[in-house]
Amino acid sequence: MNERLRWIDRHFVFDLPLSMFPNVLERLRGTPARIEERVRGRDAATLRRRLENTWSVQENIGHLVEVEALWLGRLDDFAADLTQLRPADMSNARTDAAGYNSRNLEEVLSRFRAVRGQFIGRLESLPPLQLLCSAHHPRLNQPMRILDLMVFAAEHDDHHLARISELLMI
């Protein structure tokens, strides 16, 4: 297995202009299709295989399902004009408790597509002035705009897509 930078060790510079909102929105919108493309035709044993006590392919997808609640909650934080965004549960207890390896793959994929659709819908309905709001990200210890949250979510998607690809090559 290649040595990869852990998600919690990543650092971010949020400097995209607001004009990039549509581009990042399309990146987020495309994640369900990208995942479905990666897992299409794979057998259940491969998708549920855990290596070195890490999440399987199916559990990585399930984790993305669970994290959507955080993205939606942070949109609520922006809407409430909070100065600090809610923290993530870095223990990932919800993902571990959800039992994604015992679920049907189509159910997990469908659930991700549905919750991502909620996130996209909320983003599409934002009043333009709300895009100027900023709040403090607790773990990164830096300000974050809604566009930055979107970039962060897209990078998180890609982090797990890379892990899924890595697991499928083993």
In whole angstroms, give the CA distance from residue 158 to residue 46. Answer: 20
Q: Which residue in 48, 156, 151 sits closest to 103, CA to CA?
A: 48
Spell out the domains of the chain, with CATH numbers in brackets: 20-169 (1.20.120.450)
Q: pTM to 2 decimals? A: 0.94
For the segment 13-28, what is each residue's pLDDT rounded down to a tens digit? Answer: 999 999 999 999 999 9
Residue 170 is predicted with a pLDDT of: 79
Return phi, psi of residue 2, to 5°. -70, 145
**Residues 114-131: tens digit of each pLDDT:** 999 999 999 999 998 999
Report the C-alpha gap between 166 and 161 in whole angstroms.
9
Question: What is the C-alpha to C-alpha distance for residues 144 and 135, in angstroms, rounded to an integer?
Answer: 5
Q: Exposed/middle/buried for 55, CB within 10 Å: 0-12, 13-18, 19+? A: buried
